[in-house]
């Protein structure tokens, strides 16, 4: 504030003027009928200093530098700028206020030139401080270059450097990066990069079937795949190949298919041999391809009616099966020739089909279950009769081991339970002796639900699966003893039953790989998260801790790392007993997955994970002290007053005085 009539001119009101340089004006400050307070200002070289144009008010000009160590002139006795009537100036500062200048920062990357990425982008920056103060940098992203609503990328970074930003979890679009530099005296500077980062996730594809190994087939084989980041109008091309080099030898199976996840491959005209499957997803001018892990072994002569199909009706089993409006029939069926099966279901009062059966549904796929609408079925006890047809002239039949009792009591409709298998999700899921399966199951009717777990090489319940355990409570997890399970990669198939005739099934999103190291071979380390508890609610700063061990010797464990949500892996403190401090306030409220990975000296890893719910106040509390003022001299009884707000659950304020 310089070279004006007045550095500060204020009438009729209240104003606080702090930490300013006020020089070479007629007046440093002029007030008329105002409640003016000046603090920590440097005022010198002004002709008239501070003057009050109203005898009824007082200007509080204490704790300012007037240009001389002995204070102001005028009403004062010093050599500094004059203080006028009704101006309180004592005590004054005997030396100038040293102002802290804010740091500056420049975001070097992104710079708007070819900054298009799929999964990771390296941010670069440089920050400086004119006072030479230490500087800490935080990085944020948002959808524009207006500093509001930013999302934290990382904080506590050095003044200059680079950071690898994981954008794999962001939707496609443009994202601006803002850097904030803060010095150790509270000075702050910020800047955006010169251009946005464009996140573009190209489509990708994974061939699920055939899985690893060789799989015999004669007449047909079901190819399965899954895509990521593919639009609804993407198409799938399928090829066969005797090796995994797509540059030569590809033979088309079918092209231009919709992305429905499976294709029934007719093998009748294909020569015998071993073939990999190569799938390509196309989306406009973008495409991606992948080979299957295993091969289809085409052998003609043992299919097309060579082997009959088989079927076993599992439910009802007669153990309290009742229904009013609906009931879920369950079965297992298969065919050694790989033929496509169709199912027909009937209900019967006995187990003699020649004496009459009533059709429930026909032409069903081999899904393993069917929800039967029993609203129009007469009350009574009924067996279920099933017929499986392989489409090549062979059939098989079976009756259920028990009956379901249909009773129409007019009560509320029974709803099927909901189920989601969460683990394994395919993210480094490995096991030798044990593996923890995780799921989430609910029932809107409040029924007590029972779990059954199976492992399977594919996601076709009718093509063969192996029971892990049945009759389990809805605990959300199960420690599976894998010591006797053959080596391989397996999906988990879960079935939840509500005890009232309704059940739901689900496959895990990924597979767990079972390996059993031989004598002298390296074993995967084991690691567990002991706290916080799975499915618990957390807030503030949380200590994540647990234990790790290695069958080859605990000294073999070289690191334990923790990953919060989709963030980076970060080193924990310790190995066999490890801890990690997590500030949850940087995460949005809601469920967050916490992962831990232990690594041994041979590079083998073991993992564990939990899901917790972050629940922090969305409006943090704040407080301001209004009296006494900073640097006031007090004595006797002092009233400390102020104001506080924010926080939906603000209940109390604590006052502490140093030295008391």
- Residue-wise pLDDT tens digits, 531-566: 998 889 999 999 999 998 887 776 788 999 999 988
Q: Summarize the confidence of residues 605-618 as an average pLDDT.
A: 86
Q: Summarize the confidence of residues 641-659 as an average pLDDT.
A: 71
Give the Cα separation of 580 and 152 in Å (integer): 19
pLDDT(194) > 80: yes
Q: How would you class 197 by CB atoms within 10 Å of its CB: exposed for 0-12, middle for 13-18, buried for 19 or more?
A: buried
Q: From 2.60.40.10, 3.40.190.10, 3.50.50.100, 2.60.40.1930, which CATH number describes the 104-199 domain?
A: 2.60.40.10
pLDDT(119) > 80: yes
Cα-Cα-Cα-Cα dihedral of 571, 573, 575, 576, to 10°?
A: -140
Residue-level pLDDT at 135 = 92
**What whole-number percentage of the chain has pLDDT above 70?**
95
Split at pLDDT 50, 70, 90, the class of 489 is very high
Instruction: Say if CB 584 and CB 616 are below 8 A apart.
Output: yes
Q: Which CATH architecture has domain 204-298?
A: Sandwich (2.60)
For 320-331, b where at least 16 C-beta lie within 10 A, e where not — what string? ebbbbbbbbbbb
Give the Cα separation of 61 and 56 in Å (integer): 16
> Which residue's entry shows tokens 């029934």?
264
Q: State which of 78-92, 441-455, 608-622 shows the largest mean pLDDT.
A: 78-92
Q: Is the dihedral of CA 360, 366, 368, 370 positive or negative?
A: negative
Residue-level pLDDT at 446 = 81
Q: Which residue has the higher pLDDT, 26 or 320?
A: 26
Where do the structural domains in the chain lie, given as residue ranges?
6-88, 104-199, 204-298, 310-406, 418-514, 526-614, 618-660
> Which residue's entry shows tokens 């007449």?
219
Instruction: Say if CB 57 and CB 78 are below 8 A apart.
Output: no
Instruction: Say if CB 277 and CB 293 are below 8 A apart.
Output: no
The set of residues, in sequence order, having a beta carbon less than 8 Å from that of 659 and lying 6+ positions away, is none
List own/partner pairs for 52-60 with CB under 8 A and 24 or more apart: 52/84, 52/85, 52/86, 52/87, 54/86, 55/85, 55/86, 57/31, 57/33, 57/86, 58/86, 58/87, 58/88, 59/29, 59/31, 59/34, 59/86, 59/87, 59/88, 60/36, 60/88
> Which residue's entry shows tokens 């289809």?
296
Residue-level pLDDT at 302 = 45
Split at pLDDT 50, 70, 90, the class of 411 is low
Q: Summarize the confidence of residues 137-141 as an average pLDDT.
A: 93
Q: Summarize the confidence of residues 421-441 as an average pLDDT.
A: 84
Residue-level pLDDT at 147 = 66
Termini Cα distance of the chain? 42
CATH 1.10.420.10 fits 310-406, yes or no: no
Residues 296-330 pLDDT 10s: 988 876 444 457 788 899 989 887 788 888 888 88
Asked if the domains at 104-199 and 418-514 fall in one CATH topology, the answer is yes
Mean of pLDDT over the chain: 86
Q: Summarize the confidence of residues 429-436 as an average pLDDT.
A: 83
Instruction: Say if CB 332 and CB 401 are below 8 A apart.
Output: no
Residue-level pLDDT at 412 = 67
Residues 326-342 pLDDT 10s: 888 888 888 877 778 88
Residues 256-302 pLDDT 10s: 999 888 888 888 888 888 999 999 999 888 889 999 999 998 887 64
Split at pLDDT 50, 70, 90, the class of 395 is confident
428: which 2 tokens?
């480094």
CATH class of 526-614: mainly beta
Neighbours of 570 (CB within 10 A): 11
CATH class of 418-514: mainly beta
The set of residues, in sequence order, having a beta carbon less than 8 Å from that of 20 and lying 6+ positions away, is 1, 7, 41, 42
List own/partner pairs for 558-564 with CB under 8 A and 24 or more apart: 558/599, 558/600, 558/601, 559/598, 559/599, 560/527, 560/596, 560/597, 560/598, 560/599, 561/596, 561/597, 561/599, 562/594, 562/595, 562/596, 563/594, 563/595, 563/596, 563/597, 564/592, 564/594
Query: 116-120, 139-143, 195-199, 407-411 — which is least confidently predicted?
Result: 407-411
Residue-level pLDDT at 305 = 46
Longest Cα pair distance anywhere in the chain, in angstroms?
123
Residue-level pLDDT at 236 = 94
pTM of the complete model: 0.37
529: which 2 tokens?
């998260």
Up-side HSE of residue 310: CA atoms within 13 Å toward CB? 9
Residue-level pLDDT at 162 = 93
Query: 21-25, 319-323, 380-384, 647-651 — which is least confidently predicted?
Result: 647-651
């Amino acid at each position: 504030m310089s070279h004006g009539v007045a550095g500060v001119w204020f009438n009729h009101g209240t104003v606080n003027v702090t930490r300013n340089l006020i020089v070479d004006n007629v007046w440093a400050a002029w007030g008329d009928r105002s409640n003016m307070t000046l603090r920590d200002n440097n005022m010198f070289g002004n002709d008239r200093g501070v003057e009050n144009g109203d005898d009824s008010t007082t200007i509080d000009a204490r704790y300012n530098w007037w240009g001389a160590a002995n204070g102001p002139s005028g009403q004062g006795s010093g050599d500094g700028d004059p203080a006028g009537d009704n101006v309180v100036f004592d005590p004054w500062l005997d030396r100038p206020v040293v102002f802290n200048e804010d740091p500056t920062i420049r975001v070097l990357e992104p710079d708007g030139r070819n900054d298009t990425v799929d999964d990771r982008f390296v941010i670069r920056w440089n920050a400086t401080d004119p006072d030479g103060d230490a500087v800490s940098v935080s990085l944020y992203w948002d959808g524009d270059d207006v500093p509001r609503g930013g999302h934290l990328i990382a904080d506590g970074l050095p003044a200059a450097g680079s950071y690898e930003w994981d954008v794999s979890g962001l939707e496609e679009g443009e994202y601006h990066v803002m850097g904030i530099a803060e010095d150790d005296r509270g000075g702050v500077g910020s800047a955006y990069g010169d251009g946005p980062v464009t996140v573009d996730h190209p489509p990708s594809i994974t061939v699920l079937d055939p899985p690893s190994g060789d799989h015999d087939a004669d007449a047909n084989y079901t190819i399965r795949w899954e895509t990521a980041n593919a639009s609804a109008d993407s198409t799938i091309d399928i090829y066969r190949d005797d090796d995994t080099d797509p540059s030569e030898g590809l033979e088309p199976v079918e092209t231009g298919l919709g992305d429905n996840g499976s294709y029934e491959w007719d093998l009748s005209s294909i020569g015998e041999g071993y073939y990999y499957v190569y799938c390509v997803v196309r989306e406009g001018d973008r495409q991606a391809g992948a080979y299957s892990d295993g091969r289809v072994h085409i052998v003609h002569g043992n299919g097309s009616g060579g082997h009959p199909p088989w079927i076993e009706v599992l439910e009802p089993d007669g153990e309290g099966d009742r229904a009013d409006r609906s009931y879920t029939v369950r079965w297992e069926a298969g065919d050694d020739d790989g033929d496509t099966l169709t199912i027909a279901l009937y209900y019967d009062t006995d187990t003699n089909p020649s004496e009459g059966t009533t059709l429930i549904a026909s032409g069903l796929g081999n899904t393993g279950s069917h929800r039967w609408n029993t609203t129009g079925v007469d009350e009574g006890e009924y067996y279920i009769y099933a017929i499986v047809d392989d489409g090549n002239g062979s059939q098989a039949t079976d009756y259920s081991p028990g009956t379901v009792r249909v009773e129409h009591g007019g009560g509320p409709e029974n709803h099927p339970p909901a189920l989601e298998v969460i683990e394994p999700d395919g993210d480094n899921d490995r096991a030798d002796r044990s593996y923890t399966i995780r799921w989430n199951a609910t029932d809107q009717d409040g029924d007590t639900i029972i779990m059954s777990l199976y492992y399977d090489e594919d996601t076709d319940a009718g093509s063969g699966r192996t029971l892990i355990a049945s009759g389990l409570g809805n605990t959300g997890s199960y420690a599976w003893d894998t010591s006797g399970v053959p080596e391989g990669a397996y999906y988990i198939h879960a079935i939840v039953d509500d005890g009232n005739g309704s059940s739901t099934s689900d496959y895990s999103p990924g597979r767990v790989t079972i390996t059993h190291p031989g004598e002298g071979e390296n074993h995967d380390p084991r690691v567990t998260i002991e706290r916080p508890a799975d499915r618990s609610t957390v807030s503030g700063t949380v200590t994540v801790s647990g234990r790790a061990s290695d069958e080859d010797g605990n000294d073999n464990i070289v690191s334990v790392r923790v990953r919060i949500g989709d963030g980076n892996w970060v080193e924990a403190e310790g190995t066999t007993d490890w801890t990690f401090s997590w500030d949850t306030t940087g995460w949005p409220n809601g469920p967050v997955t916490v992962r831990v990975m232990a690594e041994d000296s041979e590079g083998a890893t073991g993992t564990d994970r939990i899901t917790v719910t972050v629940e922090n106040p969305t409006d943090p509390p704040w407080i301001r002290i209004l009296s006494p003022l900073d640097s006031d001299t007090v004595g006797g009884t002092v009233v400390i007053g102020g104001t506080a707000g924010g926080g939906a659950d603000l209940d109390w304020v604590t006052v502490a005085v140093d030295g008391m």
